[in-house]
Structure 1
Amino acid sequence: MPAWRMTFSRRSVQSEGVTISYLDSGLVGSTVVILHGLAGSATEFIPTAESLSDFRVILVDQRGHGHSTRVPADTSRAAFVADVVRVIEAEVDGAVALVGQSMGAHTAMMVAAARPDLVERLVLLESGAGSGNPAENATMGDHLRSWPLPFVDKTTAREYLGNGPLEQAWIADLEPRHEGLYPRFDPEVMVQTLDAVAVPRWTEWESVSAPALVVYASGGIFSEEDKAEFVRRGQRAQLIEIPDASHDAHLDAFDRWIEILHAFLRQDQPR
């Protein structure tokens, strides 16, 4: 992990009644936009941003997450794509490197397909063209609804959730309210979002023309067949696998994740 702390400014754009909040490192350099996974937020990628100090990094709270509108009326893939496009167009004059994990990687893929002029390179961590099914998604919703909220404090949250890397990220981002601590997401919105992500988007993926780095974890959620098919059907996709890592490899295999990410982002860049 980086030993220093980067200072971010928090800004937002409005999108048809929805507020999309994001953190901007404000540094000089090519711009990297990072999209978190389901039930996550921009803050879990702050260590990643701090390790990319030669880039300007923008960390987006996607709709339904973090400091963005918590319960948006529209949870379609098109709405998520439009939000990211708005942030890029508001902040950058040109194209960016777009990075995403899980649901955020699916969003990134869709942005690259819809607006190739805005994406010069793409990094997808633990992503497919569409994954999950309504039964699995409903089970996830039941789990999120079962949390004994509010948590009195972070110690209580840790006792219930555990102390793994993903759980630590959730706990660090809990929202303090008068009566206690709450997650920065709504379970119903999470299920709706997952249902949309589950729809296969092969046409979109096969249309992506930007160079794409597809990163999978050895202990992630995708089978070897899934990984091979996804990479094979990409126009300019290259595959790297991180050993001894989970679906949240950016958290539990941080050093290797940064090594891979930095090498890809620096390709063909002036030194």
Structure 2
Amino acid sequence: MGEYVELPGVKTWYEAEGAGDPLLLLHGGLCTNETWGAQRADLAARYRLFLPERRGHGHTPDVEGPLSYRDMADDTVTFIESVVGGPAHLVGWSDGGIVALLVAIARPDLVRKVVAMGANFLPGPESSAAPALLDHMSADAPEMAAFRGMYEAASPDGADHWPVVVNKVADMIRTQPTISTDDLARISAPTLVLVGDDDLTTLEHTIALYRAIPHSELAVVPGTSHALPMEKPEQVNRLILDFLTNDPVPTMFPLRRATGAAAGSGQA
């Protein structure tokens, strides 16, 4: 069961479970906490999970005006401060991954480690493997049926508000985010960039994201699409847990991670 917390500008619904260090699960665009079903048990066995639903998503009502990733990141910062009460791991999928990156840039003091799955740092037309899909993103499209079902089952705004939210999210994806590589370079938290090998976000864009973040690791899950946490949950969960619970291993021939004398000697 979940509950609401009054944050500045938005009454936010969240769920919590498990025990241990705090970990936020940040869902994808037009999704709800329902999409984390295959991750919750494994992660809650090791961590105290917090699952906030962002403005206009799930049980959290929409707000006046357009949606923006930066506003959602600000909401997340306030949520961490007021509900979690200290630094947390951030695991974000799709739009949730974008929010996690923005929080890590703005408030490094609140972030332990980051897992960004299927995330992009430039707008959809510049980062998507199929930008034409944005032209068909409408409330009544058959491809949107599953998203519409989740929305109608949870939203306090009612089913009639669905087209409004779809249009807002579509506008956001077309024009946002606009995160510079200089800003990505400011991320100090260890970061796992995770992607499906047939993801909506191109592999080239994902590699650029990985290269821009100093303390990052890259994992490409074979045989998966943008829905990798649902398609291969056991493999995705193992990657997440290994990254969050373990320190990096020394590598024998570091190149990207080599510094100083190590760069010349080939030692970690």
In 2, the alpha carbon distance for the partners of 1:128 and 1:144 equals 21
Question: Alpha carbon RMSD of aligned pairs, Å?
Answer: 2.9
| Alignment correspondent of 1:3 | none
In 2, the alpha carbon distance for the partners of 1:116 and 1:174 equals 36
Q: 1:101 aligns with which of 93, 101, 114?
A: 93
Is 1:49 aligned with 2:49? Answer: no
Is 1:175 aligned with 2:137? Answer: no
Is 1:210 aligned with 2:210? Answer: no
The one-character-per-residue Cα deviations of 1:24-63 (angstroms, maximum 9, x if unpaired) are 11x2201110111111112211331211122111112111
In 1, the alpha carbon distance for the partners of 2:146 and 2:173 equals 22
| Alignment correspondent of 2:200 | 221
Equivalent residues in 2 for 1:27-176 (5 A)? 27-52=18-43, 53-133=45-125, 140=134, 142-147=136-141, 161=143, 171=149, 174-175=152-153
| Alignment correspondent of 1:259 | 238
Which deviates more, 135-144 or 194-203?
135-144
Paired amino acid for 1:175: A
Q: Size of the alignment, in residue pairs?
A: 241
1:104, distance to aligned residue in structure 2 (A): 0.8
Give yes or no for contact 2:151–2:159 (8 Å, CA) kept in 1. Answer: no
| Alignment correspondent of 1:13 | 5
Give yes or no for contact 1:133–1:198 (8 Å, CA) kept in 2. Answer: no
Q: 1:226 to 1:78 in 2, by over 3 A?
A: closer
1:17, distance to aligned residue in structure 2 (A): 3.4
In 2, the alpha carbon distance for the partners of 1:198 and 1:182 equals 27
Match of 1:241, SS state, is strand
1:92, distance to aligned residue in structure 2 (A): 2.1
In 2, the alpha carbon distance for the partners of 1:176 and 1:200 equals 31
Q: 1:139 to 1:47 in 2, by over 3 A?
A: closer
In 2, the alpha carbon distance for the partners of 1:127 and 1:176 equals 25
Q: Percent sequence identity over matched residues? A: 23
Paired amino acid for 2:187: V
TM-score by length of 1: 0.78
Give yes or no for contact 2:134–2:174 (8 Å, CA) kept in 1. Answer: no
Match of 2:119, SS state, is coil
Match of 1:127, SS state, is coil
In 2, the alpha carbon distance for the partners of 1:236 and 1:227 equals 15
